[in-house]
């Protein structure tokens, strides 16, 4: 029997379409599990709060599937059931407005309203917590890294090198193991990992192995996600963005996301969970201000490791990153102090010609008068510097392969000496020489093959590499 809009069926009664307030209350409850999915994606799976790379499509499909499942299985979502709302069983009614299944008592209505209000507060808190505790939204402070000029007493431990758009003094030696019996054991080793294909602009990365396995510096080839030639914009978006207008806030959020998301993702993949963000400038009175080393210092920590990423901005807006991996103990602190001094020497340019001039001048004065490990390692550092500013220079790869072969032979020769047998740290360094020698010889051969496969010198490098593989 029908009376107006009321359909009486036993003990239940359909009261008609749900009001706007009831539907809003149900939606507030359903927003809770939506924000929980968002929280899990960002915090547990390491996703971007901006839902990059079409992540929003995947999450939308997941949420839609869960919504359809609830409406088909339970005739309504969790929020609808709380407010005693329901949808028809048929497929055609899946997206129709819900109807009231029975009149709520005053107590039931207060309970539903209270749960909805709590859900709104909880959802807002969860979204705010998810977004504003994410490393992308950390407020950066100003970090002072002073200009550093190596004093005369220690200049023998520094060498001028160019890596991509940077020129500066780099340390020759580093060691926290004072028991080394041979000074050569303290030399910093440089390695060039191979990345398939001839380098078009830059090689991917270069490694300075300060003290393995804990302490290493990586110099990346320029990778620019967003190019701004206005340093003030970067600085403002890092240090002042929370006090900006709404339009400025969202513009800076985009700048931050494009600049930092790759770095944060890579650091999270390495287990870093505690982040710090700083803006730094090295005020060097000896060079023009637009060539100062400046940019973002992003630090990530885990229980045993720290990584410091210095994202440098060139005068034309390109990004070049130099990063330090170190331990959390006193050895790592010593490495950070030396790394700070290195950054304090840097000059950042927008052209490669200054770096090429520096390296070519040093190479023209370099001769292989000694095959000591220290001499070979120093020449390899210079050759990698050359490759970073002139990646299509075939001769640099050829000489890198030759010096790598000599370093391998020297490491094999020294393994039987009393110094190596009595000092485990020195023995470990000999193993490092062999490891780096193999890496550089392989990369030199493969890059030479990519650049000039028909060159007879490439066959020589291949023969050296095959000889090493047989050992």
Q: Distances from the Cα of 260 to the Cαs of 133, 201, 275, in angstroms?
A: 15, 22, 12
Convert the pLDDT of each residue in 311-337 to its tens digit.
999 988 889 999 999 999 999 999 999
* 437's tokens: 């020698």
Q: 208-212, 375-379, 423-427: which range is least confident on average?
A: 423-427
User: In angstroms, what CA-CA distances link 125 with 39, 48, 134, 319?
Assistant: 11, 18, 14, 35
What is the separation of C-alpha 443 from the centre of its chain, rounded to a whole number of angstroms?
24
pLDDT tens per residue across span 47-80: 777 776 677 787 788 888 888 788 777 777 888 8
Q: What pLDDT digit, counting tens, does each position of 238-296 carry? A: 888 767 777 777 788 888 888 898 899 899 889 888 899 999 999 999 999 999 999 99
- pLDDT tens, position by position, 164-194: 999 999 999 887 764 444 444 478 999 999 9
Per the model's pLDDT, the better-predicted residue between 248 and 32 turns out to be 32
List Cβ neighbours of 415 (8 Å cut-off, separation of 6 or more): 427, 430
- Nearest-Å Rg of the Cα atoms of the chain is 31
d(CA 421, CA 416): 7
Q: What are phi and psi of 227, to 5 degrees?
A: -110, 110
Tell me if the pTM is above 0.95.
no
Structure tokens at 426: 């020195």
Query: Greater confidence, 450 or 34?
Result: 450
* Whole-number Å distance between alpha carbons of 382 and 387: 9
Query: What are 368's two structure tokens?
Result: 């292989």
- H or E, element range at 317: none
| Residue spans of beta strands (DSSP E) within 183-245 | 189-191, 205-211, 215-220
Q: What percent of the chain has pLDDT over 70?
A: 91
Residues 471, 453: Cα–Cα separation, whole Å: 25
* 299 compared with 84, residue with greater pLDDT: 299
Q: Phi and psi at residue 404, in whole multiples of 5°?
A: -65, -40
Residue 14 has pLDDT above 60, yes or no: no
The listed range with the strongest mean pLDDT (27-36, 234-243, 272-281, 416-425) is: 272-281
Beta bridge pairs of residue 321: 311
- pLDDT of the residue at 177: 60
Question: What is the per-residue pLDDT across 284-313, written as a single tens digit (0 to 9) for each?
Answer: 999 999 999 999 999 999 989 999 999 999
Number of H helices, E strands in the chain: 13, 17
What the block records as the tokens of 42 is: 């960002």
User: Above 70 in pLDDT, residue 389?
Assistant: yes
Name every residue whose Cβ is closer than 8 Å to that of residue 449 and which is 6 or more positions away in sequence. Answer: 458, 461, 462
């Amino acid at each position: 029997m029908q009376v107006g809009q009321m359909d009486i069926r036993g003990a239940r009664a359909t009261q008609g379409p749900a009001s706007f307030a009831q539907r809003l209350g149900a939606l507030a409850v359903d927003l809770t599990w939506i924000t929980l999915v968002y929280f899990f994606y960002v915090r547990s799976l390491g996703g971007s709060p901006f839902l990059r790379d079409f992540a929003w499509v995947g999450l939308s499909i997941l949420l839609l599937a869960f919504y359809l499942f609830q409406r088909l299985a339970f005739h309504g979502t969790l929020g609808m059931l709380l407010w005693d709302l329901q949808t028809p069983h048929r497929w055609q009614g899946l997206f129709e407005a819900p109807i009231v299944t029975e009149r709520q008592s005053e107590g039931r209505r207060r309970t539903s309203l209270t749960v909805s209000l709590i859900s709104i507060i909880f959802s807002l808190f969860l979204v705010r917590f998810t977004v504003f505790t994410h490393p992308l939204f950390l407020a950066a402070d100003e970090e002072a890294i002073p200009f550093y000029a190596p004093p005369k007493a220690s200049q023998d431990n520094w060498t001028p090198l160019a890596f991509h758009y940077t020129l500066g003094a780099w340390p020759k030696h580093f060691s926290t193991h004072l028991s080394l019996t041979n000074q050569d054991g303290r030399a910093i080793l440089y390695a060039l990992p191979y990345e398939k294909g001839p380098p078009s602009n830059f090689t991917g990365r270069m490694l300075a192995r300060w003290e393995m396995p804990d302490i290493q510096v990586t110099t990346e080839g320029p990778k620019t996600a967003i190019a701004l030639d206005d340093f003030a914009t970067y600085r403002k978006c890092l240090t002042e963005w929370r006090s900006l207008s709404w339009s400025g806030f969202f513009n800076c959020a985009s700048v931050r996301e494009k600049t930092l998301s790759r770095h944060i993702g890579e650091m999270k993949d390495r287990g870093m969970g505690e982040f710090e963000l700083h803006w730094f400038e090295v005020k060097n009175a000896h060079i023009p201000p637009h060539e100062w080393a400046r940019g973002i210092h992003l630090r990530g920590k885990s229980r045993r490791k720290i990584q410091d990423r210095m994202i440098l901005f060139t005068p034309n807006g390109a990004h070049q990153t130099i990063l330090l991996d170190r331990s959390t103990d006193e050895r790592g602190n010593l490495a950070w102090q030396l790394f700070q001094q290195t950054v304090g020497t840097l000059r950042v340019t927008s052209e490669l010609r200054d770096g090429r001039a520096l390296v070519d001048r040093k190479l023209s004065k370099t001769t292989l008068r000694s095959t000591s490990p220290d001499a070979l390692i120093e020449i390899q550092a210079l050759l990698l510097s050359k490759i970073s500013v002139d990646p299509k220079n075939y001769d640099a790869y050829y000489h890198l392969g030759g010096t790598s072969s000599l370093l391998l032979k020297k490491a094999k020769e020294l393994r039987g000496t009393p110094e190596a047998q009595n000092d485990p740290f020195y023995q470990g360094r000999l193993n490092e020489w062999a490891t780096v020698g193999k890496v550089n010889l392989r990369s030199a051969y493969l890059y030479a093959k990519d650049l000039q496969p028909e060159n007879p010198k490439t066959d020589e490098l291949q023969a050296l590499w095959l000889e090493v593989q047989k050992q």
